[in-house]
Amino acid sequence: MSQQKAQASTGDEFFKIETPGSPLPPLSVATKLPGTALPKLGQDHVPETKKVKYNSNPPTSGPHYAIWAQWGIHTKAPLDERLVHNLEHGGVIISYKPDQIQGQVLEQIKAQVRDLSKNNPRIILTPRPNLDTAIALTAWGYLQKLDRYDPSAVTAFYNAHIARGPECQNGLCPN
């Protein structure tokens, strides 16, 4: 997948999507995906002034704003209502508790996110101070919590869920 990378002066690093993705094989009904499946709360757009209550932290589905967050590495958390829109468009979001994940471990996660983004840049890394765990992985309708950084768990979750949101068809997602 072709992509461009832009660095903001804030330390954020954003990925630009230039194609709808690559076709993925359909999932079998019996396929066990990583993470816990959560009830889906719909996919309606709401006004930017509305604050939405979600059924998980971080959220995995539900009403959201019409504009999503930029794909990439964030130093400040985007609004949940924007992030949920990213999930709807097949994204995977890695949230971390900044008082537990920092320094060398955070740099390792950033490197992994950059590497995974080469396959499909629909990925976000963001701090989330109110997490009840060190790391949370989210995709549309799925949440996996990690007590510590586990690169293989991150890769498995990403590979299973990338480009599988409800706006995607067989791995092809609208930009």
95: containing domain: 59-166
Report the CATH number at residue 104: 3.40.30
Q: Report CA 19 to chain centroid distance, whole Å.
A: 18
First to last CA, the chain: 13
pLDDT tens-digit readout, 115-140 = 999 989 999 999 999 999 999 999 99
Predicted confidence at residue 66, as pLDDT, reads: 95
Looking at residue 148, the DSSP 8-state letter turns out to be: S
CA pair distance 154, 157, nearest whole angstrom: 5
Average pLDDT, the chain: 89
Q: Give a yes or no: residue 17 inside a domain.
A: no
Residues in a beta bridge with 6: 14
Tell whether 10 is covered by a domain.
Answer: no
| Structural domain contains residue 11 | no
Note whether residue 100 is domain-resident.
yes
Dihedral (C-alpha) 72, 74, 78, 83: value to the nearest 10 degrees?
Answer: 30
**Number of domains composing the chain:** 1
The answer to whether residue 78 is domain-embedded is: yes
Per residue in 55-105, pLDDT tens?
999 999 999 999 999 999 999 999 999 999 999 999 999 999 999 999 999
The answer to whether position 97 is within a domain reads yes
Whether residue 119 lies inside any domain: the answer is: yes
Mean pLDDT confidence for 32-39: 90
Q: Is residue 19 part of a domain?
A: no
